[in-house]
Amino acid sequence: MKSIQKAGVVGGGVIGAAWAARFAENGIDTVVFDPAPDAQRKLDEVVALADRAYAKLTLAPRAKKGAITLTTDLAEAVKDADFIQEAAPERLELKQDLFAEIEGHARADVIIASSTSGFKPTDLQAKMVHPERLIVGHPFNPVYLLPLVEIIAGEKKSDDVTASAKAFYASIGMHPLLIRKEIDAFVADRLMEALWREALWLVKDDIATAEEIDDAIRFGCGLRWAQMGTFQVFNVAGGEAGMRHFMAQFGPALKWPWTKLMDTPEMDDALIEKIAVQCEEQSEGLSIRDLERIRDNNLIAIMQALKTQKWGAGQTLLDYEAQLYKRSHSGSSETVHDFSQLIRMHETVVQPDWTDYNNHMNEARYLQVFCDSTDAFLNMIGVDPDYVAGGHSYYTVETHIQHLQEVAALEPLYVKTQMISHDEKRIHLFQWIYHGKTDEVLATGEQMFLHVDANASKACPAKPEVLARLGEIWDGHQHLPAPEAAGRAVGQRRS
DSSP string, 232-262: HHHHHHTGGGHHHHHHHHHGGGGGSS---TT
Contacting residues for 491 by C-beta, under 8 A, at least 6 apart: none
In angstroms, the first-to-last Cα distance of the chain is 56
Per-residue pLDDT at 20: 98
Is-contact 69 23, C-beta < 8 A? Answer: no
In the chain, what are the domain boundaries? 6-185, 189-285, 331-477
- DSSP strand pairing (6-10 vs 412-422): unpaired
Amino acid at 363: E
Amino acid at 60: A
Question: Residue 275 in 3-state DSSP?
Answer: helix
- DSSP strand pairing (392-403 vs 412-422): unpaired
Per-residue pLDDT at 248: 83
CA 281 from centroid of its chain's CA atoms: 33
Closest-CA residue to 147 (of 39, 11, 53): 53
| Element housing 186 (H / E) | none
Contacting residues for 192 by C-beta, under 8 A, at least 6 apart: none
Per-residue pLDDT at 333: 53
Is-contact 415 434, C-beta < 8 A? Answer: yes
Contacting residues for 336 by C-beta, under 8 A, at least 6 apart: none
Is-contact 92 119, C-beta < 8 A? Answer: yes
CA angle 110, 116, 121 (to 5 degrees): 60
CA angle 390, 383, 66 (to 5 degrees): 115
- Taking CA atoms, 343 is separated from 332, 346, 452, in Å, by 11, 9, 25
Is-contact 392 452, C-beta < 8 A? Answer: yes
- Taking CA atoms, 332 is separated from 65, 328, 381, 470, in Å, by 19, 9, 8, 14
Per-residue pLDDT at 260: 77
Give CA–CA dist 181/196, Å, rounded: 24
Is-contact 76 33, C-beta < 8 A? Answer: yes
Per-residue pLDDT at 1: 67
Expressed in percent and rounded to 5, the helix, strand and coil fractions of the chain are: 45, 20, 35
Contacting residues for 434 by C-beta, under 8 A, at least 6 apart: 413, 414, 415, 416, 440, 441, 442
**Running DSSP on this structure, what letter comes out for residue 401?**
E
> Is 189-285 a domain of CATH 1.10.3720.10?
no
> What CATH number does domain 6-185 carry, 3.40.50.720, 3.40.50.1000, 1.10.3720.10, 3.20.20.140?
3.40.50.720
Contacting residues for 241 by C-beta, under 8 A, at least 6 apart: none
Phi and psi, residue 394, nearest 5°: -105, 130
Q: Tell me the Ramachandran region of residue 75: left when phi exceeds 0, alpha when psi lies from -120 to 50, beta otherwise.
A: alpha
| Element housing 165 (H / E) | helix 159-171
Q: Is the dihedral of CA 454, 459, 463, 466 positive or negative?
A: positive
Q: pLDDT by residue for the chain (495 residues), tens digit each?
A: 678 999 999 999 999 999 999 999 999 999 999 999 999 999 999 999 999 999 899 988 888 899 999 999 999 999 999 999 999 999 999 999 999 999 999 999 999 999 999 999 999 999 999 999 999 999 999 999 999 999 999 999 999 999 999 999 999 999 999 999 999 999 999 999 999 999 999 999 999 999 999 999 999 999 889 888 888 888 888 888 888 877 788 778 777 777 777 787 888 899 889 988 998 898 888 888 899 999 999 999 999 999 999 999 999 999 999 888 877 765 555 567 899 999 998 999 998 889 998 889 999 999 999 999 999 999 999 998 889 989 999 999 999 999 999 999 999 999 999 999 999 999 999 999 999 999 999 999 999 999 999 999 999 999 999 999 999 999 999 999 999 999 988 888 776
The CATH number of the structural domain formed by 331-477 is: 3.10.129.10
- Taking CA atoms, 314 is separated from 303, 304, 363, in Å, by 5, 6, 27
- DSSP strand pairing (111-114 vs 83-86): parallel
DSSP string, 417-484: EEEEEE-SSEEEEEEEEEETTT--EEEEEEEEEEEEETTTTEE-PPPHHHHHHHHHHHHHHTTSPPPT
**Running DSSP on this structure, what letter comes out for residue 131?**
G
Amino acid at 46: V
CA angle 316, 318, 324 (to 5 degrees): 105
Query: What does the pLDDT look like over 96-123, one tens digit per residue?
Result: 999 999 999 999 999 999 999 999 999 9
Query: What does the pLDDT look like over 283-306, one tens digit per residue?
Result: 888 888 899 999 999 999 999 999
Give CA–CA dist 15/21, Å, rounded: 10
- DSSP strand pairing (6-10 vs 29-33): parallel
Per-residue pLDDT at 60: 87
Per-residue pLDDT at 332: 56
- Taking CA atoms, 490 is separated from 259, 371, 400, in Å, by 68, 20, 8
**Strands of 53-168, DSSP E:** 68-71, 83-86, 111-114, 134-138, 148-153
